[in-house]
Amino acid sequence: MKLTVEGLNRHYGPAHILFDIGLDVGDGEVVALLGRNGAGKSTTLKSLMGVVTPRTGSVKLDGVEVAGRPSHDIAKAGMQLVHEERRIFGSLDVEENLVLAGLNAPSRWPLERIYTMFPRLRERRKSRGTDLSGGEQQMLAIARALIRAPKIVLLDEPFEGLAPVIVHRLLDVCRELAEAGQTIVIVEQNIAATLALADRVYIINNGHIVHEGTKEQIKAQPEVLHRYLGV
């Protein structure tokens, strides 16, 4: 599924947060959105998903306009957002979280496919969400999105605060998804991990897209990374 974003603007009260954001994400592509804290990355993902409503702009999935539609409609159209704060149900066990997430999906992955991708969740399938480690909670958050068989997955800071061994495991999962043709848009502060995964990169600064290129082009321009990301 192709994602096309044009002229996206978002305000919080009188404050103008996003300025004419434009993105193109091809079918089966992994695209990263990089920027400093407060640059507008998470707001962009939430605007795409309908969690917040953009004031103006176009968001098209395979040419079908979804901007301004409620998030559950956008989910049914094939897009899923894995929130930075994970949003799992702490009082439910792993399997209950997964079953609930897939209930109203137009199509869904079988539980066995989820457990094959996340063996740790199989081991913890009867554990409540509140009893999981941070890494396990992140696995569950991603699995809850995947069980709905999305055509596009939006990942908001999936590696934040996790031990390196967990980051490597989640990177492997993302690579596996990408190799299977899953379209992914990722927002992440871990530059090295992101560039290991992404095909193309957009850099956002103060609500503006200021740079775009392949990961090879971005790596070859350290001055750009330093200017906008401080690395």
Give tens-digit pLDDT for 174-223: 999 999 999 999 999 889 889 999 999 999 999 999 999 999 999 999 99
Q: According to the model, what pLDDT value does residue 92 have?
A: 97
The model's pTM is 0.95
Residue 24 has pLDDT above 80, yes or no: yes
Q: According to the model, what pLDDT value does residue 136 have?
A: 95
CA contacts within 13 A on the Cβ side of 196: 14
Q: According to the model, what pLDDT value does residue 231 have?
A: 58
Query: In the structure encoding, which two tokens stand for residue 100, read together?
Result: 């609930």
Rounded Cα distance between 41 and 66, Å, is 19
